[in-house]
Amino acid sequence: MNDQDGQDRQARADAVDREMAARLLPAAAVGALGCWWEANASAYADGTPGAHTVRYTPGRWAQVSPWPAALAPVGAGGDAAVSRAEVAAAVADALQREAFREALVATYVWGKGKRGTPGGSGPATLHKILAFDGLDAVLAAAVTALREHGAPEAYAALQGQVSGLGPAFFSKFLYFTGLALEPASAVRPLILDQVLARRMRQMAAVVGRQSGHDPDGSIAAWVWSDGNWTPHRYQVYLSFLHAAADQLAAEDTWPAGATADLLECALFTTSWETSE
């Protein structure tokens, strides 16, 4: 692809982004999310996903150190559970002590949940990440970037810095860090992983066809790929979800004051059929 083709493709991507920002959530998505809220309103009555709980097996993470006190001891048998609110409290405590690795472990174990197996991609990968000599400096720089500049800059400070630590997991670190401190921007960081990118891809493909900017869905597949999203793409994602959360409240689909991270939580488990 030459420079002109690349510029043309980016221009089409920007056009789709503008259309999505103007249209926000399609009716099918609003309906599906409304059903989700009806089923989960009692669990998330405060309008946040703090009660969202993940089960994990502490013994599978025995090789990981430092181990946050908020998590069950690795010597404990069986499974344990930890909520977003509990992870947020653990991260806030760790950041006060500048225990950046501990904060990362709490977010990583929560993000992996029951998928973590001894020697598998969860514990083994995290062990390698923690062995990186410059990890503390990288995490500290991301925290500073979030506090002084904003979420996209913090994302950029982490992207490609540590082998094995990709955006699906470092965006979890940023999300919980954003709950613990006051970011420079009112647009707080959110989790972006493969599932959420595919939800965005689904909406972008429909908008691209309807607007004529992306008739075959190739632009949607490019910008909302399964990983390695750019800081610009992360900024687009954050802007969309924060605006979409306001949309749901304005349409009385969700209560006023419901947070953007509640929408992120709902999108992870909610699907809908596209109309075309």
| pLDDT, tens digit, 9 for 90 and up, residues 162-177 | 999 999 999 999 999 9
Question: What integer is the mean pLDDT of 266-274?
Answer: 93
pLDDT at residue number 24: 98
Which residue did the predictor score with more confidence, 274 or 6?
A: 274
pLDDT at residue number 6: 75
Nearest Cα neighbor of 264 from 183, 179, 160, 185 is 179
Quick one: tokens of 160?
């490609």
> For tokens 């992207």, what's the residue?
159
Strand partners, 221: none
pLDDT greater than 80 at residue 115: no
pLDDT greater than 90 at residue 111: yes
- The residues near 97 (Cβ < 8 Å, ≥ 6 apart) are none
Strand partners, 174: none
What is the percent of the chain with per-residue pLDDT over 70, rounded to a whole number? Answer: 95
| Cα–Cα distance list, 128 to 7, 8, 40, 179, 216 (Å) | 38, 40, 37, 26, 40
Question: What integer is the mean pLDDT of 181-192?
Answer: 88
Q: CA-CA distance, 112 to 159, in Å (whole number)? A: 19
pLDDT greater than 90 at residue 4: no
pLDDT at residue number 242: 96
Quick one: tokens of 123?
């514990």
Q: Which of 86-95, 96-105, 111-120, 189-198 has the lowest mean pLDDT?
A: 111-120
> DSSP class of residue 188?
-
Q: What is the pLDDT of residues 9-25, one digit of tens each?
A: 999 999 999 999 999 99
pLDDT at residue number 1: 66
pLDDT at residue number 116: 52
Mean of pLDDT over the chain: 94
Q: CA-CA distance, 37 to 263, in Å (whole number)? A: 10
pLDDT greater than 70 at residue 276: no
- The four Cα atoms 238, 241, 247, 250 give a dihedral, to 10 degrees, of -80
